[in-house]
Every structure is written in structure tokens, then in C-alpha cells.
Amino acid sequence: MKPKVLVLTGYGFNCDYETKYAFELAGAEADIVHVNEMIFGMKKLEDYQILAIIGGFTYGDDIAAGKVLANKLKNNFWEQLEKFIADKKLIIGICNGFQALVKSGLLPALDSHEKQTVTVTFNDQGKFEDRWVTIKFNKNSPCIWTKGLDLLDLPVRHGEGKFYTDNATMQNIINSNLVVGQYAKNGKVANGSYPENPNGSVYDVAAMCDKTGRIFGLMPHPEAFNHVCNHPNWTAIREQARRQNRKLNKLGLGIQIFKNAVDYAQENLQ
């Protein structure tokens, strides 16, 4: 049986169809569900194994990006979320979804899933960033979603993508290997270099998880690299495959993130 994914949508959400498509390519069954269907009980989180909180500009980014959505999560179906987490199910937050996860306290959840300890705020450059970046993944992270990944090119598109926290909390996060991915330059961590680090995130944080490795958030968009031709250098990738006499993998490499989750759900949540 295919794992079931709830792709949350609503006012100002984007990327719902791309995310549904990415999960389906990875072998899951995905439903796009309006946040109000959750609030009014028309859909139940318990019927799914994976929750995807997608990118966009939810509720117009009023107050701060992801803040209104975070409040809706906490005030309307927090008990469902707590049970979902206790049942060892999976959550991904992409871009605006990542912002909502940190502002609700679901990430990094050093002590509990209720207290916000980090934030994602305005880019250092003071403008919207729309470009492809390279992410270097932490092989020592407990993250289920990124197993086997090293370097991955993905697009970013955000105005509030800077990860920030105090030094003590950051050190705790580092020591726990909860920094899943960092912005990279020439195969190494970018060390704040712009535009490789497009927003000024401390420690070049692009992605993180909780201590279980099952709750995962990232600013880049893996669902937007679902086919090789999405990549800005895809013609060079195609030509390299031809010269090396190997078959071109038409799936975008971003799909591996979704496949890791689907494989986990099939093995552990059926």
C-alpha cells in the first residue's frame, strides 16, 4: 500500500501541485487539503503518514513569514499534530512551511515541540532572492529525509530566509547534528559568502530537523527539481551523460528527498 501524504494548502500557499507531483513520483499517494478542512474536522491528520507544509506567502506574510500559519497550527489542530508526532510519522516544511515549523516550535524542538527557540527572518540583502543554490548535507544528521545525500542543487525563492538564533542555542543545535543542510560554495560550506548563502543565515543553515530526524524543514524547494530539465544547466548534464555513454536520469535529484520519506513510511508506518 502506498503511504498517504497530506499536502496542506490554503490562502497564499503555493507549490501544492508540485509537491503532490513530487510525492507521487516518489511512490506515495498525495491529497491536497485546505487548512480549513483540517480546522473544521473535514479531514483528519491521523489518516495520513506524511504531512507536507508547503512554500508560498501564507496569509500575505502578515506579522512575519509563516507566523499566522504557525498560530493556526497551534490554536486549531495542535493535539492532532502531537499525536501525529508521537506516532512517529513524518513532517516536512518547505520554505514558508519551514518558517511555520520554526515559529510554531516544531523545529528544532530541543526540549519540546511547543517553544520557539530560533527564527527565520529578512534576508541580509534586503530583497527577494530567486536563484539556484547548492546545499551540502550533514551525513551525521539523524534526518530520515536526506539519507545518502551529499551535495544537491536546488532553487530558493524567498524574502525572509535568514536562519537566526542566539549563540548558545546554535551550539546546542550543532552539537545535536540538527543542521541537516548548509549553503555551499565549490563543494564546501559557503561561510556566509553571497550569493551562495542567499540570505545571511547563521552557520549557513539551509535545512534542519528535530532530534528524531522525522520533522524536517528547509528553505530551498526540492519539489521544484522534479525533472532534470528543471536544472538551469540541464543541457550540460545531458551532454555529459551522452559523452560518458550512460543513460540520463530524467528524474530531478530533488525527488530523492521525497523518496527517502516514502521508503521510510512504507517500511515503518504501514
Domain that holds residue 121: 4-268
Could you read off the pLDDT of 156-210 as tens digits, one per residue? 999 999 999 999 999 999 999 999 999 999 999 999 999 999 999 999 999 999 9
**pLDDT for the residue numbered 60:** 87
Question: Is 129 one of the catalytic residues?
Answer: no
**pLDDT for the residue numbered 50:** 99
Question: Is 209 one of the catalytic residues?
Answer: no
State phi, psi for 137 to the nearest 5 degrees: -95, 150
Catalytic residue among 15, 95, 143, 209: 95
Catalytic residue among 15, 113, 223, 231: 223
Domains in the chain, number: 1
Stretches in the chain below the pLDDT threshold 50: none
Domain CATH number, residue 238: 3.40.50.880
C-alpha cell at 233: 544547466
- Peptide bond connecting 195 to the previous residue in cis, omega within 30 degrees of 0: yes
**pLDDT for the residue numbered 270:** 77
Could you read off the pLDDT of 85-101 as tens digits, one per residue? 999 999 999 999 999 99
Catalytic residue among 113, 158, 221, 231: 221
